[in-house]
Amino acid sequence: MEEQKISEKLVSLEEKTINNTKKIDELTIRVNENERVLNNVDKSLSVTVEQIKNIAEDLKQTSINFKEAMMRSNTANSKETELLKEKYNELEKKYEKLDSKLEQETVGKDAENWRNSKSKVIAWIITAGLAIIAGALGLSKFL
């Protein structure tokens, strides 16, 4: 009779262990997916930063060209000066758009990732705590 109870408890403990292993595997998959998403965000931000750098270089060169055009403005044709101004303004607008886009992506995604990560970590801690308590309660019945 005593052996049967021990056997039943052992089977129950094995089932709990299997369930806990499945939960750990699921959580591992979620962590890997979160890492993949973060890597994609990182790559996206890297591309955006590279675009901003290119625009900054273009803006710098356009600025230099604009300054040179202003110095030669006495002899330069007004149409050339206007074209340089337009190009400068277009590049300035592109730079501002990319700058605001980068800020939105980094701030928004960082905040969202922080909220998601925080809630997942809390859930994992609670799950682990419950698993430890369940394990302790299950083991205390054997002792």
Closest listed residue to residue 95, CA positions, set 56, 49, 142: 56
- Over residues 118-122, mean pLDDT: 79
Helix (H) or strand (E) holding 2: helix 2-71
Q: How many CB atoms lie within 10 A of CB 59?
A: 19
- Cα angle at 116 between 112 and 119, to 5 degrees? 140
CATH number of 2-142: 1.10.287
Residue 2 has pLDDT above 60, yes or no: yes
Q: Is the pLDDT of residue 13 over 80?
A: yes
Please report the pLDDT score of residue 22 as a whole number: 93
76 CB neighbour count, 10 Å cutoff: 14
Tokens of 3: 């052996």
Q: What is the pTM of this model?
A: 0.36
Task: Check whether 101 has a pLDDT greater than 90.
Answer: no
Contacts of residue 16, defined as CB under 8 A and 6 or more positions apart, other chains included, come to 134, 135, 138
Which residue is it, tokens 């129950």?
A: 12
